[in-house]
Amino acid sequence: MNYYKDCIQEYDDMEERYELMMERIRQIPDESLVPGSFRDYFVSTAKFILMIDEVVQQVKSENLDNLSQDELADMNARLYSDITGDHYKTSYANYEYSYHVMKSAVQENEQKEGSLEERDIVEISQLLTFLYHEVRGMIVYAFEGRLVDITLFAELFVQIYFMCQEKINAKQLKEAIYYFENDYAEYFMGYRIKEQLEPALSFATDIVMNSDLTDLSYLYRYGEYIGYNEIKTAEFLNTLSQEEIEAMASTYTEGFREGYVAARIDMSRKKTVNIRYSVGQERMVRAAIVQFRNMGLEPLCFRYAVNRINRRLISRIGYMSTVPNKQLEYDHRMDEALFLDKKLMERKLEILKQVYKSYEYQAMVYAGPACIEIFGENPFEPENSAFSPVLSKKQQEITVSYANASARIVNEYIPRDQYSFTIIAYPVPEIGDNYEEIFRETVKINTLDNDMYRKIQQYMIDELDKAESVRVVGRGANKTDITVMMHELENPEKETNFENCVADVNIPVGEVFTSPKLTGTEGVLNVSEVYLNDLKFIDLTLTFKDGKIAEYTCKNFDSEEESKRFIQENLMMGRDTLPIGEFAIGTNTTAYVIANKYDIVYKLPILIVEKMGPHFAVGDTCYSMSEENVLYNPDGKEIVAKENECSLLRTTDMSKAYFNCHTDITIPYDEIGGIYSIHADGMEVPIILDGRFVLPGTEKLNEAFV
């Protein structure tokens, strides 16, 4: 498919507009129409856009296939050079660098135009840095042939260039960016929803299915940053036999299918599945696509959202490469603070309704996401910058309101109780010298004996169903001491509070979980180190009262205020509190032992870590928006603990029922002093003591520790 032609067919004048912009931008490096230091910003950005034009011409002429791997690698390196390594320190994508450069520019200009206040200088530098970062999104637009997106951002750049030739005015710059986001929200959001639902937008699918995967040149055709992880992953997968590749893919695709079986949803009505993966995993993805097609499902392979109008914090949903600079991602996590207001939120919600309405059929036949996660990247501890945009309290309220309202709109067209999902994870080469061994150990973890775990976990559930509450106590330096209240079972012979979770939607095997009562759930949850949403939390401590976070702290920063803000922004998603949505006991001791053997515990994803000890999820329950689905454990008992006092509000006030987040926090076995099932008469039955399983019937889980 010629994506260049496909992406401009709705805009008759787009090629002409594009050429006009490129012609004007070519003149900028030879002009001196803005103050000296500002000139460097505009010249640098113009040269970057002209480099994008070179890619556009290669795509337009379908010449990329004629370039060698070395030529493609060189192109990739040039496109990402200014944000990788130490280059980021002097990049206009760096808020702090831009501020210092532009402050001198403003001071230079003041001699002619009059003084500006410090806050204006900060805002001007933020707006121009934001613009440069958004312009960098042109890289992937160029490879996809999305001329519309490139042209729109080029026009904004030229508009602001002209504005800065006069007296530099923060208010005018902000208005220009605000109206750009407002005016083109329909296009950017509309395209995003279309690529999430329409398999005809097959840019990535075509790369996976039509490339010679033994020639790693294909990696560079995405436009994503290609580094060590991508190249070495692809090289390693090419050493595996086709049988091994298909077995890995089958574990993943069968898990997806079994999710439909477990939830008793008819998959025959579904037509598409979203495959989320990391660049380099194409051999497995190709096998998965074939297997999904045999199930009647066409792949939807869309990239993570690049522009800020479609992004939230640092989350990346879709296919991607490893992040070229995580500090940059963190610095730009709240860029919408520069333009977000209630009016724009309302416009976005209206667009969401209109677009989903136009794709009603595609939404109805969407089967859900099938995710291949990665782990093993070097730990990232963010540094806070005083120059990065931060959402105001009002804007945080707007984002929370938008998250709730948009989730309800999406659920109207893609009801959560009518689709399933699956998640599996594999290491990347960055994990260390033992990468290949760890990869094979991960395959072992992902294919453990479901039947054995199902039987052992049933012993645990039988005891926990007798409990009025469960108490979890830490040991050593771990300060955890929390009591979690269980729902009362009206008919214990036919009902259960806990789901017996083996390897279907959530791979690997190994946990029993429930949605606890909030009232009476109280105490302290503490963990020494944990990675949540790709960020490291040190000595995270949450205090709960009636099941909701009442106090919180960590030791990421010297300042208590900074540490609390870090939790509030990145764990509580801007809210003042969140409830416990899940309590679980992980049983995958094999994963825990392997993780400790290779010293990779803190490089593992939540997907695996949550199976390696008790964990608590803050946010929604595991059954959010699908509470009415009737679910049974393998023993035939109906799972009845699927909601709490918050989700019950869905019948009276939907805005207070859901939080649209679910973050698991796991306490490692070695930090556990005890987990006790506490009966109504006060009897305490230990499940785990000093990090080992002691409940009769579960002792086999300790064999991995030997």
- Structural domain boundaries in the chain: 3-183, 194-424, 449-705
Q: Which residues of 533-544 are buried (b: 16+ CB within 10 A; e: fewer)?
A: ebbbbebbbbbb
Give the model's pLDDT for residue 306.
96
b (16+ CB within 10 A) / e for 346-368:
ebbbebbeebbeebeebbbebbb
Q: Which amino acid is at 327?
A: Q
Instruction: Give CA 105 to chain center in angstroms.
Output: 37
Low-confidence residues of the chain: pLDDT under 50: 1-8, 111-113
Host H or E run for residue 349: helix 342-358
134/117 Cα distance (integer angstroms): 26
71-80, long-range: CB < 8 A, 24+ apart: 72/217, 72/220, 72/221, 73/220, 73/226, 75/220, 76/220, 76/225, 76/226, 78/51, 79/51, 79/55, 79/139, 79/223, 80/139, 80/225, 80/324
Residue 667: Cβ-neighbour burial (10 angstroms; 0-12, 13-18, 19+): buried
Local structure of residue 627 (DSSP, 8 states): T
Six-digit token string for 411: 């659920």
Is residue 71 within 8 A of residue 97, CB to CB? The reply is: no
Strand partners, 500: 512
Phi-psi region of 68 (alpha: psi -120 to 50; beta: other; left: phi over 0): beta
Q: Please tell me the predicted confidence (pLDDT) of residue 380.
A: 85
Rounded Cα distance between 377 and 602, Å, is 10
End-to-end Cα distance, the chain: 56
pLDDT of residue 2: 45
Sign (positive/negative) of CA torsion 34, 39, 45, 46? positive
| Whole-number pLDDT of residue 607 | 87
Residue 384: strand, helix, or coil: coil
Helices 342-358/185-197 angle, 10° precision: 40
pLDDT of residue 229: 98
Q: How many other C-beta atoms can be found within 10 angstroms of the C-beta atom of residue 407?
A: 18
Cis omega (within 30 of 0) for bond into 369 = no
- Computed on alpha carbons and rounded to an integer, the radius of gyration of the chain in Å comes to 26
From the list 203, 346, 338, 381, the residue with the least C-alpha distance to 279 is 203
- What is the spatial distance between Cα 35 and Cα 13, in angstroms, rounded to a whole number? 33
CB contact at 8 A, 612 and 669: yes
Q: Which two tokens stand for residue 543?
A: 């205090």
The span from the CA of 47 to the CA of 29, in Å, is 7
Confidence at residue 10, expressed as pLDDT on a 0 to 100 scale: 56
Distance between CA 382 and CA 325 in Å, rounded?
Answer: 11
| Residue count of the chain | 706
What 8-state DSSP symbol labels residue 268? Answer: G
pLDDT at position 529: 87
Give the neighbor-by-neighbor strand order of the sheet with 548-553: 548-553, 535-545, 517-532, 481-485, 469-474, 672-678, 684-689, 692-693
Handedness of CA 352, 354, 357, 362 (dihedral sign): negative
Among candidate residues 540, 671, 663, the one with its CA nearest the CA of residue 601: 671
pTM summary value? 0.89
Q: Please report, as a single letter, which amino acid is at residue 379.
A: P
Residue type, 410: V
The CA distance from 611 to 457, in Å, is 12
Instruction: Note the pLDDT of residue 115.
Output: 63
Task: Let me know: does 281 contact 233? Beta carbons within 8 Å.
Answer: yes
In angstroms, the Cα distances linking 357 to 344, 477, 578, 583, 656 are: 20, 54, 32, 37, 25
Provide the 8-state DSSP code for 191: H
Distance in angstroms (rounded) separating the CA atoms of residues 379 and 273: 31
For residue 638, the model assigns a pLDDT of 94
Q: Which amino acid is at 27?
A: Q
Picking from 643, 689, 362, the residue whose alpha carbon sits closest to that of residue 517 is 643
99: Cβ–Cβ under 8 A, 6 or more apart, which residues? 121, 122, 125, 126, 387
CA dihedral 695, 701, 704, 706 (to 10 degrees): 30
Tally of CB atoms within 10 A around 264? 10
Cα distance between residue 663 and residue 525, in whole Å:
14
Distances from the Cα of 348 to the Cαs of 393, 660, 676, in angstroms? 20, 17, 48
Q: Which two tokens stand for residue 346?
A: 């309302």
677, β-bridge pairs: 470, 685
Q: Which helix (H) or strand (E) holds 158?
A: helix 147-163
Contact 184, 50 (CB under 8 A): no
> Residue 370: enclosing H or E segment and its boundaries?
strand 366-375
Amino acid at 604: L
CB 131 within 8 A of CB 160: yes
Distance of alpha carbon 129 from alpha carbon 113, whole angstroms: 22
